[in-house]
């Protein structure tokens, strides 16, 4: 494996992906610095890092006509799903045999149009007898990265890992990751807080929080952290069941003049909720209020759900009152969770009161999930007529456009 491939592998597996321009520039300097830009590279040095160096004038007429044919069916500006459906239902495209060469050239054509690229990529992946190779995934990830489609890019990286097209073992070699990160500037890539956070977040999500911490200590002297940096570590420590370190990170955050936010506290609160350690939960809720960072409805919903799961119904209802006193308005998901779990706990009348009184009084709109839960509860307790009445109310309401799949069976 040459220098370019090693660098690319380490950074990709750490979540730091080069743009195609960087690949081409790097490949040109590494393999053929004395050759003309228009000269085709010899087959012996073509790698995935240079696939975007292909030029349209190197394509033979037959392959180019196939590329043009598929491109004509992929309407620019459409969503990836629309393009996929259009190609999949086209009789001419159904007679096209997908190949590595065809996919490479289509992705090259759409290197600046991620929607079309993703649509044709998905279409090709469904063609009989064809399976995307790792290099095709690399190209697609590069396109998504350049177009700032970070969530979709992460999905592709995860898909590659599931399909054993790329290994995340390199992430464990964190010393190499730091060295490669330090070399980013030499290749025209920004070495800043955002890219550092991406590296740290990737490591933490892979269970490498201690290595991420070591990297952070290495980098923080020349890259300033931000609030998100510390939230990444809080999540990482909690995921690793090292909650004391998460608490320490809260203090470290303050030491860098960043106030812990709702996300900071809520991450630790969820850790304690999952262990039904509600004394710690209440301590953190009190601390949030004392620090001028009041819990939001998501925080309260999380605690309420776990209180109800642990059969602490009265505490859950008291927490609802605490929400009101704090001026935090419950929303539809909060009430949906409360109604559902009250029903599961056999607290029929409380669930009815929430549905008929609490939600209207709070000015909160009911949705399909609200009605589904109440219909199930009424059926479970033998109030079939009331269940049918609610069903009729749903069917006649302008808020709902129902089919059979919207109506859930009684639990």
DSSP secondary structure string for all residues of 276-317: T-HHHHHHHHHHHHHTT----HHHHHHHHHHHHHTT-HHHHH
In a domain, 41, yes or no: yes
What's the confidence (pLDDT) of residue 393? 86
What's the confidence (pLDDT) of residue 7? 38
- The Cα 174–Cα 171 span in angstroms is 6
In a domain, 134, yes or no: yes
DSSP secondary structure string for all residues of 100-121: HHHHHHHHHHTTT-HHHHHHHH
**Domain stop point among 148, 169, 190:** 169
In a domain, 354, yes or no: yes
Domain span at residue 410 reads 345-411
pLDDT in tens, 44-70: 333 333 333 333 443 444 556 788 888
DSSP secondary structure string for all residues of 366-383: P-HHHHHHHHHHHHHTT-
- pLDDT at residue 17 greater than cutoff 60: no
pLDDT in tens, 120-139: 898 898 888 888 887 788 78
Domains identified in the chain, total number: 2
In a domain, 234, yes or no: no
**Domain stop point among 169, 185, 207:** 169
In a domain, 217, yes or no: no
**Domain stop point among 169, 194, 212:** 169
Give percent above pLDDT 90 in the chain.
32
- The Cα 300–Cα 297 span in angstroms is 5
- The Cα 85–Cα 273 span in angstroms is 44
Residue in the structure block whose two tokens are 């609610």:
390
In a domain, 313, yes or no: no
In a domain, 335, yes or no: no
- pLDDT at residue 248 greater than cutoff 90: yes
In a domain, 395, yes or no: yes
């Amino acid at each position: 494996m040459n220098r370019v491939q090693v660098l690319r592998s380490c950074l990709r597996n750490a979540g730091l992906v080069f743009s195609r321009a960087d690949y081409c520039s790097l490949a040109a300097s590494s393999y053929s610095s004395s050759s003309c830009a228009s000269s085709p590279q010899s087959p012996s040095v073509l790698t995935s890092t240079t696939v975007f160096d292909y030029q349209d004038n190197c394509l033979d007429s037959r392959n180019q006509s196939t590329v043009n044919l598929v491109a004509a069916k992929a309407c620019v500006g459409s969503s990836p799903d629309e393009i996929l459906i259009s190609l999949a239902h086209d009789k001419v495209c159904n007679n096209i045999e997908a190949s590595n060469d065809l996919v490479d050239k289509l992705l090259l054509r759409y290197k600046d149009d991620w929607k079309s690229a993703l649509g044709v990529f998905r279409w090709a992946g469904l063609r009989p007898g064809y399976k995307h190779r790792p290099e095709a995934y690399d190209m697609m990830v590069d396109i998504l990265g350049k177009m700032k489609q970070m969530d979709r890019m992460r999905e592709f990286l995860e898909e590659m890992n599931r399909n054993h097209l790329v290994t995340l073992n390199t992430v464990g070699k964190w010393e190499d990751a730091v060295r490669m990160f330090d070399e980013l500037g030499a290749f025209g890539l920004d070495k800043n807080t955002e890219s550092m956070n991406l590296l740290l977040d990737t490591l933490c999500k892979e269970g490498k929080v201690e290595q991420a911490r070591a990297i952070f200590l290495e980098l923080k002297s020349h890259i300033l952290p931000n609030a998100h940096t510390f939230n990444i570590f809080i999540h990482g420590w909690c995921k690793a069941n090292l909650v004391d370190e998460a608490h320490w990170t809260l203090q470290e955050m303050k030491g860098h003049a960043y106030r812990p936010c709702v996300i900071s506290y809520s991450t630790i609160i969820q850790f304690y909720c999952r262990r039904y350690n509600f004394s710690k939960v209440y301590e953190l809720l009190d601390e949030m209020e004392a620090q001028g960072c009041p819990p939001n409805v998501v925080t309260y919903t999380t605690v309420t759900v776990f209180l109800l799961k642990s059969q602490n119904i009265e505490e859950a209802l008291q927490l609802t009152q605490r929400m009101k006193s704090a001026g935090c308005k419950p929303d539809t998901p909060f009430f949906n969770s409360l109604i559902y779990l009250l029903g599961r706990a056999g607290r029929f009348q409380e669930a009815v009161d929430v549905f008929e009184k609490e939600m209207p009084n709070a000015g909160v709109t009911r949705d399909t999930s609200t009605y589904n839960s109440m219909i199930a509860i009424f059926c479970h307790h033998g109030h079939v007529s009331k269940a049918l009445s609610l069903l009729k109310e749903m069917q006649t309401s302008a808020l709902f456009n129902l089919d059979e799949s919207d109506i859930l069976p009684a639990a």
